[in-house]
Amino acid sequence: MWLWWIVVAHELLVAEDTLITMISPTLLLSLALASTASATCTRGFLQDGTANYLKAIGAGQSTLLALSSNAIYLENDIRLDITKGVLAKPIKVDFSRSILDTTQCAIFTELAATSDHPYVIHTHIWYANDKISAIDSVVSDEGDWIFNATTFLNWSKQENWDPIPAEKRNTRAVIQAAGDAYLDQWGNVSHPVPLGTPCTRLEGGLYTGSRNASANTCPMGAFPQPLKVGNRRYVIDEEVGSVSILNDFPFLEKTFPVEKGTPSSNLFRVEGGLIRYIHEVTVCATKNCGR
């Protein structure tokens, strides 16, 4: 019954623009993905999709993407016409990293651009029936949380995200649980987080590993109040031990109510059940979120 309602709701939302405006874009995304669930797909298919996405970004031409007729495009939690967003102009990509989710038929891509208009962008791309059903991006640039594309690029390139040997790979559940535990601790400082040693966090332009690359420098410490990190969307790749979690980061943007989140993304590398790397990208409504 519940699945039937999801399908019906999605069809109504697609058909009626007035109804679309009454629902949050990320909930609309969830409805769309639930109602267009796809079978598993191959890494080769997703690798081709990644190459096409990077080609489209580099050319500033969304027409290079294999979009479904009713594909949803979100940019910083806002539904946009794809021809009006970051894909509308060429971006020289200096570095990219992708993880491939063959179970959900989805891609996560992280890219850094330092020329012209610097960006760090985290993107989820979802497929159904060999076509893109949704694109969901966190796009950060000058003025966003401790943003520095050059330092992000430099540190990210030095990290090792090679495939993990098959016999040492963690399950999807273990990988996702590690990422969730890190975000859950923001609401409960005593919640256990499986941080490895070494563990380093790349947050905007800040790299904790610069203090001591062989240590665990990932702990966040306590926030002034418990935070509930909601609106989580996942792409998971067991081969490289990674989970990307797009989410809403509450408290940080000073012009928002405490409980209202700002668009954010956390990428984790998990080795032997322990977190090795964390990449965080967070968008601000005011310069440096007013802090």
Strands 206-207 and 230-237: unpaired
- The reply to whether 93 falls in a domain is no
Instruction: Report yes or no on 285 lying in a domain.
Output: yes
Kindly state the tokens that stand for 226: 């418990």
Which pLDDT does position 26 carry in this prediction?
Answer: 65
Measured distance CA(116)–CA(15) in Å, rounded? 39
pLDDT of residue 27: 63
Neighbouring CB atoms inside 10 A of 26's CB total 22
Contact in structure between 29 and 78 (CB atoms under 8 Å): no
In a domain, 233, yes or no: yes
Would you state the pLDDT for residue 220? 87
- The number of folded domains in the chain is 2
Within-domain flag for 227: yes
134 sits in which H/E element: strand 131-140
The pTM for the full model equals 0.89
Domain assignment present for 152: no
Q: Where are the beta strands (DSSP E) in 143-260?
A: 195-203, 206-207, 230-237, 242-250
**Which strands sit side by side in the sheet containing 261-271, from one edge to the other?**
206-207, 195-203, 274-282, 261-271, 242-250, 230-237
Q: Per-residue pLDDT tens for 148-195?
A: 999 999 999 999 999 999 999 999 999 999 999 999 999 998 899 999
Residues in the chain, pLDDT under 50: 1-22
In-domain check, residue 195 = yes
What is the CATH number for 279? 3.10.450.50
Residue 31: domain span: 1-35
Q: Give the tens place of pLDDT for each residue, 33-55.
A: 655 555 579 999 999 999 999 99
Place of tokens 């090679």: 162
Report if residue 102 sits inside a domain.
no
Residue 253 lies in a domain: yes
